[in-house]
Amino acid sequence: MPKWKLSAFTTLLMLLLPLAASAQSGGESVSKHFNAFVKHHTKILIDAAQAMPADKYSYKPTAAQWTFGKIIAHMAGDNRITCSAIAGTAPEKSPEPSATASKAELVSALENSLTFCEQAVAKVNDGMLGDSVTYYGQRATRVSPLIGLVEDWSDHYSQLAGYLRLNNVLPPTAKNGGM
């Protein structure tokens, strides 16, 4: 496993082990924490998408990086796959939105995908975390796409926040005292 993947995995494991121990000892449920993460990130991801001016959706800091619009389009498409796995259903056969679609179309696609994710995660309880689901064509436990969601949204939000700052727009988590 590459060093960075091991580090990210180790960090996630360190964050999740206390939650699992808490759930086993009668403390707060792990699924409750996933739900709180999804609600918080749904808000900041939509706020970030809305904060970027429409004419900056084609912005990318370097030639090798994705445009802001591509990140939004990718998230909308990827959420369908990941959150279908969380729900234990097959993903819809709809394509990822075009990275060059209008800001309104991209924000709407992101909002719809985030609503679907909120609904999927809200139906999960701790007893379902070990259930077998299909995630990117592979069998996995339901907790795998949940962790994947945490990792993916955190990564993409940091990209969006950086792009916003590079365009003199304050990211949502930097406003009103942060998170």
Nearest in space to 92 (alpha carbons), one of 106, 108, 112: 112
pLDDT of residue 159: 97
CA dist., res. 137 & res. 78, Å (int): 13
Q: What SS3 string covers 54-67?
A: HHHCCCCCCCCCCC
Provide the pLDDT for residue 96.
81
Give the pLDDT of residue 26. Answer: 57
- Give the domain CATH number at 85: 1.20.120.450
Give the count of domains, the chain. Answer: 1
Residues 6+ apart with CB under 8 A from 28: 19, 22
* Neighbour-count burial of 149, counting CB atoms closer than 10 A to its CB (0-12 exposed, 13-18 middle, 19+ buried): buried
Neighbouring CB atoms inside 10 A of 139's CB total 9
The pLDDT value given to residue 20: 53
Write the single-letter amino acid at 64: A
| pTM of structure | 0.83
- pLDDT tens digit sequence for 41-52: 999 999 999 999
Q: Please say whether the beta carbons of 69 and 99 come within 8 A.
A: yes
User: Is residue 63 included in any domain, yes or no?
Assistant: yes
Asked if residue 59 has pLDDT above 50, the reply is yes
Residue 105's contacts (CB-CB under 8 Å, 6 or more residues apart) are: 97
Higher local confidence (pLDDT), 170 or 6 = 170
Mind listing the pLDDT tens digit for each residue in 67-125? Answer: 999 999 999 999 999 999 999 998 888 778 899 999 999 999 999 999 999 999 999 99
User: Helix, strand, coil shares of the chain as percentages rounded to 5?
Assistant: 65, 5, 30
168: containing domain: 29-174
Give domain status of residue 68, yes or no.
yes
In a domain, 36, yes or no: yes
19 in any annotated domain: no
- Beta bridge partner(s), residue 135: 138
What pLDDT is stored for residue 24 in this prediction?
54
At residue 8, the pLDDT reads 55
The contacts of residue 175 (CB under 8 Å, 6+ apart) are none
15: in domain: no
